[in-house]
Amino acid sequence: MGLLDIFRVSSIKKENEELKEQVRSLNSRIDTLGVTEYEQTKALIDKVNEQIASGNSTIRTLSEEISQLKEKSEKLSKNVTTQERKINRCKELYKSVDYAINNFLNTDVPYSDCKISSTDFQDLDLVTPSVILNLHCMDVKDLRAAYRDNEKQINKLLDSYSARYTTKANKAIYNLMVIALRAELQNILYSLKYEKLEKAIDDVKKVSAKYLQIAGEGNQSIAGTLTKFIGEIEYLFINAVKIEYNYYVRKEKARQEQLALKEQMRQEAEERKALEVEKKKVEKEETKYRNEITKLESSMSESLSDDELSKLKARILELQNQLSQVVLKKDEISNLQNGKAGNVYIISNLGSFGDDVFKIGMTRRLDPQDRINELGSASVPFKFDVHSFIFSDDAVALENKLHEMLNEKRLNKVNMRKEFFKVSLDELEQLVTSIEPTAEFNRTMLAEEYRQSLSADAPYSSDNLYQYDNSDDE
């Protein structure tokens, strides 16, 4: 299925709306219908309803095909991601060299002023890493691969500098430096927590500064190479911290996703309960209309005058029209109860979040405005403006698609429950139109309560006040 099939779905939906409009038009003629038109009109209504059912079936089929294409697209995206990782490894190597050049190779270290306490020398014996920590990143496939790649760069750097020292004394100094630095890194990684990335990076830089002092106080013949070594390894150590921290970010993200899932399940339970109540109400109406129609149809067998028979048929036609509306509503409720159908909403709150900030979510409420009113009731100071309601047989998939397409513009990268995106109104409208050409999009940000609040705070100008002219009183 190609792009034309996607537009075909929209065309079918539009055709269904036109057919529904025909039903409404036919119903409006009920009062003016003559008895002779009764059977023709009834047959036409039945035919239109069959066409609507056929259109809905076609939409479901095409939607399944779209889902299959989406799966293929996701597989291709994974292949692209794999190739991007290979490129990023080369980029990291370049960044490491560039970082060392810019921060250390062109920097003069004031060795003469560097002093080191006796306790610092004692610490070298205590920090020897006899035990290698089991890092959290090693439990995640892509993070494990990234950490090992970074570790290879570290080992390569260590080997290159180790080859520069030929005497036993200098090599021993270098080896002690390496042992101490690795121990410092392990300690930093062990102490790493969520939302503490900047502190950990700062700790790495402090370690670099401390061992630059050690290098400056030591053998001056190797102080220069040790300085360069520390400068290069600092970048790789910071990279190791970032890789390990990524585990905590993902852990927090997973936690937030679980909370979002629980919240979604809670909302779905409430919505299913509300839909079930509404369904029972509609079924009760349906039963009432069917019973009344059956009763009137049985009365037609009795001996009646032409005028009585005409009124009886007109009443039956009216009841059938009402029954048709009830059946359509019942079908709509059934679609919403299937666990996928619903409305994707796009809303804004200028007073609460500013320009170009939109919330994109979904609801299975029979009236989606009820959910919007609920969101704007207590958590924010002003009501939300609705820019679009998009009905879909798979609203969850549609919501996820919009979120994926706007992922780079997501405000909160960790808590997926915060469905807010920084995007222009024009871009958002184009995106909605490309996905659902028939969807209505309201560009106006009323922000009525917010603007009224601004007006209430604006001071009155004395220029606008009536000035009493008392010149004649003199």
**pLDDT above 70: residue 270:** yes
* pLDDT of 206: 92
DSSP 342: E
Domain boundary residue, one of 255, 290, 316: 255
CB atoms within 10 A of CB 313: 21
Domain count for the chain: 2
State the average pLDDT over residues 326-333. Answer: 77
pLDDT of residue 235: 92
Q: Mapping DSSP to helix (H, G, I), strand (E, B) and coil, where does residue 450 land?
A: helix
Mark whether 249 and 347 lie in a shared domain.
no
397 near 345, Cβ under 8 Å? Answer: no
**358 pLDDT more than 90:** yes
228/353 same-domain check = no
What is the average pLDDT score of the chain? Answer: 78
**182, 173 contact by CB (below 8 A):** no
Give percent of the chain with pLDDT exceeding 90.
Answer: 15
Clarify whether residues 240 and 379 are in a common domain: no
Question: Do 6 and 63 contact (CB within 8 A), yes or no?
Answer: no
242/361 same-domain check? no
Query: One-letter amino acid identity for 215?
Result: A
pTM: 0.42
Residue with tokens 């679980």: 258
Examine the pLDDT at 456 and tell me if it is beyond 80. no
- Tokens standing for 184? 């410092």
Q: Residue 175: which domain range?
A: 108-255
Closest CA to 217 of 179, 177, 182: 177
What does the chain come to in residues?
474
For 281, the token pair is 């109400």
Same domain, 346 and 443: yes
Give domain status of residue 384, yes or no: yes
Which secondary-structure segment (H or E) carries 219?
none
Choose the most confident range, by mean pLDDT, from 32-46, 78-92, 274-288, 449-463. 274-288
**DSSP letter, residue 380:** S
Closest CA to 154 of 123, 126, 131, 186: 186
Of 213, 232, 255, the residue at which a domain comes to its end is: 255
Mean pLDDT in residue range 428-453: 86
pLDDT tens profile 150-163: 999 999 999 888 88
Residue 239 has pLDDT above 90, yes or no: yes
Q: In terms of domains, do 238 and 350 share one?
A: no
Which among 378, 360, 384, 396 is positioned nearest to 264, based on CA atoms? Answer: 396
**Domain presence at residue 72:** no
Average pLDDT over residues 382-405: 89
Q: What is the pLDDT of residue 38?
A: 63
**Confidence grade of residue 243 (pLDDT, cut at 50, 70, 90):** very high
Q: What is the pLDDT of residues 404-436, one digit of tens each?
A: 899 899 998 877 778 899 999 999 999 988 888
Question: Looking at the structure, do residues 232 and 369 belong to the same domain, yes or no?
Answer: no
Neighbours of 327 (CB within 10 A): 15
- Cα separation values, 296 from 171, 300, 313, 327, 381, Å: 107, 7, 8, 20, 56
Residue 466 has pLDDT above 50, yes or no: no
Residue 196 lies in a domain: yes
220-299 and 197-217 are packed helices; what angle lies between their axes, rounded to 10 degrees? 170
- 3-class DSSP state of 188: helix
Whole-angstrom Cα distance, residue 235 to residue 237? 5
Separation between Cα atoms, residue 282 and residue 335, nearest integer Å: 14
Domain boundary among 240, 255, 270: 255
Q: How confident is the model at residue 360 (pLDDT cuts 50, 70, 90)?
A: very high
What does the pLDDT average to over 260-275? Answer: 75
The answer to whether residue 220 is domain-embedded is yes
C-alpha dihedral sign at 385, 391, 392, 393:
positive
Is residue 121 domain-shared with residue 232, that is, in the same domain? yes
Would you state the pLDDT for residue 257?
73
Residue 147 is assigned to a structural domain of this protein = yes
d(CA 423, CA 437): 20
pLDDT single digits (tens) 119-166: 554 444 444 444 456 788 888 889 989 999 999 999 999 988 888 888
Q: Is the pLDDT of residue 115 over 50?
A: no
Instruction: Say if 464 falls within a structural domain.
Output: no
Does any domain span residue 217? Answer: yes
Nearest to 270 by CA among 186, 201, 356, 364: 364
Q: Is residue 304, in this structure, part of any structural domain at all?
A: no
Sign of the CA dihedral 6, 11, 12, 13?
positive
